């Protein structure tokens, strides 16, 4: 009986996800589970290092940025934009060609990353001095953490290619589990070794998590017939094709990394703990953007790609408008929820007792500013894919470059204002998110004509405003007269009850205002089931988060 159970488990883990709904469910669940474990990791970091060692925690977050940026540009750009479509093409010819390509690509990219890692290990100290304005002792610590976490990126390189191979074979469960083990490894490193090793425990935890990220995928990859081998052939046609496809994707990812570099540089001039607070607030506000903006834009992208090929773009505009309002339908109340419940959310995420009250307030204020741009940032995901469906990758890139320049300038101005520095950076980020949304929307409007969503958006804004009022009242009353929110369980109860009230009010107002998206929710959920198959046809790739 035990053996039968084990055999069924192995079959489930190794099985191909032919059911589109099951593949979509696995990936969506992995996003949420990774986010929860990421919050648990940062909760542990806050409890272990705030209250005297927050400066070391800042250095950890700063040190993570450099090796992670190199990995994102070189490896994630290669796998998402280049390796998977080229690998699938070779797999269609023969498994032997696909295996040869994967080893040649892994050896080529891995060799380049190994060279950069050696460079980082040697020159980590001067590079750290260019990134941040910490004291010499902190810069030495930062250099050592960069060296340690650079080793993790080598493991992630192998793991990223293994993920690509599994996804190309329609195996999604193991690649979805891998990021969970990465976060779990980091948590274990911090939990067991922080008393003796301090912040180095987090760096070692990253390496251990990266090892788990690799090791969990190896059995299934070997089951599919792939064995890693060193084949250094950078001029192999498939590798050449892959290298040619990489730069546009790498450049787009590079723009996304700029805000992290700016935050590191500016917060290093502020009080200890500033970068950690910025990172904590950014993590909370990015969760609804990922759940609603990224997933729903991926769902609509293949349909948009099909309809963009027609001479008549009326269906394309209809699908785009419906996708925009669907994301607004979810993102607006999420933004309101985060805004009103900012302090309970921060206390639950990072500690009601161990996280200092002044740090809690500053994180909550930063989160409040960022929450205002949750909806426009989420919608920007589908606007960008709208351009991509029209085979226009330049305009989103230009807009991204413009907004990043403006963000850098405004954050540099407002991020140096003493105790309000973190708020200045988050305000600049919120403003740049709005600018990104407005410019993309106007350019798309100019390209295809009116999208006609203003009236529906206005009704959702009214429902969201009513939800905000409905949340605020019960929050104040329950906090003052019912729940002792100095303890965790009452704090959870308060958050759940207030959220349920707000959710109910939002649904009631959507019904009163006859918001069409309420009736479309069931159809939307069904539509989400189609995205894995069509994404494979359109060379869009699912990218589970593996970073911090």
**Tens-place pLDDT, residues 405-434:** 999 999 998 887 655 789 999 999 999 999
Position 436 scores a pLDDT of 93
Residues 6+ apart with CB under 8 A from 156: 71, 75, 210, 213, 214, 546
Task: Give a yes or no: residue 469 inside a domain.
Answer: no
The percent of residues above 70 in pLDDT, for the chain, comes to 84
Measure the CA–CA gap between 294 and 218, rounded to whole angstroms.
28
Mean pLDDT score of the chain, rounded to an integer?
82
Q: pLDDT tens-digit profile of 244-288?
A: 877 776 777 787 788 889 989 999 988 888 999 999 999 999 888
Three-class DSSP category at 154 = helix
User: Residues 380, 382, 388, CA angle at the centre, nearest 5°?
Assistant: 105
Query: What is residue 156's predicted lDDT score, i.e. its pLDDT?
Result: 86
* Listed range (24-28, 201-205, 350-354) with the worst mean pLDDT: 24-28
Whether 402 maps to a domain, the answer reads no
> 313 in helix, strand or coil?
coil
* Rounded-to-integer distance, Cα 395 and Cα 521, Å: 31
Q: Look at residue 9 in the predicted model and tell me its pLDDT.
A: 46
What pLDDT score does 144 carry? Answer: 96
Residue 547 has pLDDT above 50, yes or no: no
Residue 500 tokens, joined: 């349920």
For residue 55, tell me if it sits in a domain: yes
Residue 389 lies in a domain: no
Q: What is the pLDDT of residues 527-539, one digit of tens each?
A: 545 544 544 444 4
Residue 175: what pLDDT?
80
Count how many domains the chain has. 1
| Mean pLDDT on 166-178 | 76
pLDDT attached to residue 424: 92
What would the pLDDT profile of 216-244 be if each residue is shown by its tens digit? 988 888 888 787 788 888 888 888 888 88
Give whole-number Cα distances, 299 to 118, 325, 464, 541, in Å. 40, 14, 24, 12
Q: Which of 21-30, 110-119, 347-356, 465-474 has the lowest mean pLDDT?
A: 21-30
Average pLDDT, integer, range 480-495: 78
State how far the Cα of 466 lies from the Cα of 506, in Å rounded to an integer: 7
More confident: 14 or 468: 468
Give the model's pLDDT for residue 531. Answer: 46
Q: What is the DSSP string of 288-302?
A: HIIIIIIHHHHHHHH
Question: Within 10 A of 419 (CB to CB), how many other CB atoms are there?
Answer: 11
- The pLDDT score that the predictor gives to residue 539 is 45
Query: What is the arithmetic mean of pLDDT over 64-80?
Result: 76
101, 164 contact by CB (below 8 A): no
d(CA 333, CA 371): 11
Instruction: Tell whether 96 is covered by a domain.
Output: yes
Confidence of residue 477 (pLDDT cuts 50, 70, 90): confident
What's the pLDDT at 16? 44
pLDDT score recorded for residue 77? 62
Non-local CB neighbours of 357 within 8 Å, separated by 6+ positions: none
353 or 103: which leads in pLDDT: 103
Q: What is the mean pLDDT of residues 475-492?
A: 77
Residue 541 lies in a domain: no
25-29, 363-367, 531-535 — which one is most confidently predicted on average?
363-367
Find the domain containing 113 and state its range.
Answer: 17-257
| Chain mean position to CA 447 | 29
Judge contact between 461 and 332, C-beta under 8 A. Answer: yes
Residue 149 · residue 71 · CB < 8 Å: no
Give DSSP secondary structure letters for 110-147.
HHHHHHHHHHHHHHHHHHHHHH----HHHHHHHHHHHH
Residue 57 placed within a domain? yes
The predicted pLDDT at position 538 comes to 44
Does residue 373 have a pLDDT over 90?
yes
Question: 212 pLDDT exceeds 90?
Answer: yes
* Token duo for residue 544: 């589970």
CA-nearest of 257, 325, 230 to 515 is 325
């Amino acid at each position: 009986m035990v053996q039968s159970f084990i055999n069924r488990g192995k079959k489930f883990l190794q099985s191909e996800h032919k059911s589109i709904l099951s593949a979509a469910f696995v990936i969506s669940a992995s996003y949420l589970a990774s986010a929860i474990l990421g919050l648990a990791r940062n909760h542990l970091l806050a409890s272990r290092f705030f209250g005297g060692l927050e400066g070391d925690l800042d250095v950890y977050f700063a040190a993570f940025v450099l090796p992670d940026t190199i990995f994102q540009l070189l490896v994630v750009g290669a796998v998402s934009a280049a390796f998977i479509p080229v690998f699938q093409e070779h797999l269609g010819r023969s498994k032997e060609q696909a295996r040869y390509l994967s080893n040649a690509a892994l050896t080529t990219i891995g060799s380049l990353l190994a060279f950069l890692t050696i460079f980082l290990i040697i020159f980590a100290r001067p590079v750290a001095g260019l990134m941040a304005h910490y004291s010499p002792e902190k810069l030495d610590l930062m250099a050592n953490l960069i060296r340690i976490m650079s080793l993790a990126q080598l493991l992630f390189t192998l793991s990223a290619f293994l993920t690509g191979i599994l996804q190309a074979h329609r195996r999604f469960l193991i690649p979805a589990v891998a990021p969970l083990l990465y976060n779990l490894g980091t948590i274990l490193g911090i939990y067991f070794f922080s008393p003796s090793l301090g912040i180095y425990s987090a760096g070692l935890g990253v390496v251990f998590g990266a090892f788990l990220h690799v090791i969990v995928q190896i059995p299934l990859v070997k089951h599919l017939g792939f064995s890693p081998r060193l084949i250094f052939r950078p001029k192999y046609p498939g590798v050449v094709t892959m290298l040619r496809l990489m730069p546009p994707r790498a450049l787009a990812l590079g723009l996304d990394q700029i805000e992290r570099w700016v935050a590191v540089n500016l917060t290093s001039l502020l009080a200890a703990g500033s970068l950690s607070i910025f990172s904590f607030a950014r993590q909370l506000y990015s969760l609804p953007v990922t759940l609603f903006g990224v997933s729903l834009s991926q769902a609509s992208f293949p349909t948009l790609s099909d309809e963009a090929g027609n001479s008549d773009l009326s269906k394309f505009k209809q699908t785009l408008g419906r996708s925009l309002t669907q994301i607004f339908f979810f993102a607006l109340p999420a933004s309101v929820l985060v805004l009103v419940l900012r302090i309970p959310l921060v206390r639950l995420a990072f500690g009601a007792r161990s996280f200092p009250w002044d740090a809690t307030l500053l994180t909550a204020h930063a989160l409040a500013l960022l929450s205002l741009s949750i909806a426009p940032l989420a919608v920007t995901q589908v606007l960008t894919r709208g351009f991509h469906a029209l085979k226009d990758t330049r305009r989103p890139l230009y807009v991204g470059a413009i907004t990043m320049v403006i963000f850098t300038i405004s954050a540099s101005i407002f991020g140096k204002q003493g105790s309000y520095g973190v708020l200045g950076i988050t305000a600049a980020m919120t403003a740049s998110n709005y600018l990104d949304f407005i410019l993309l929307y106007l350019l798309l409007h100019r390209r295809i004509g009116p999208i006609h969503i203003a009236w529906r958006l206005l009704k959702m804004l009214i429902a969201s405003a009513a939800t905000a009022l409905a949340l605020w009242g019960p929050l104040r009353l329950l906090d003052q007269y019912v729940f002792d929110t100095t303890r965790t369980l009452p704090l959870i109860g308060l958050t759940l009850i207030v959220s349920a009230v707000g959710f109910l009010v939002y649904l009631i107002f959507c019904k009163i205002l006859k918001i069409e998206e309420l009736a479309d929710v069931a159809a939307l959920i069904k539509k989400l089931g189609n995205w894995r198959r069509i994404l494979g046809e359109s060379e869009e790739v699912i990218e589970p988060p593996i970073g911090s």
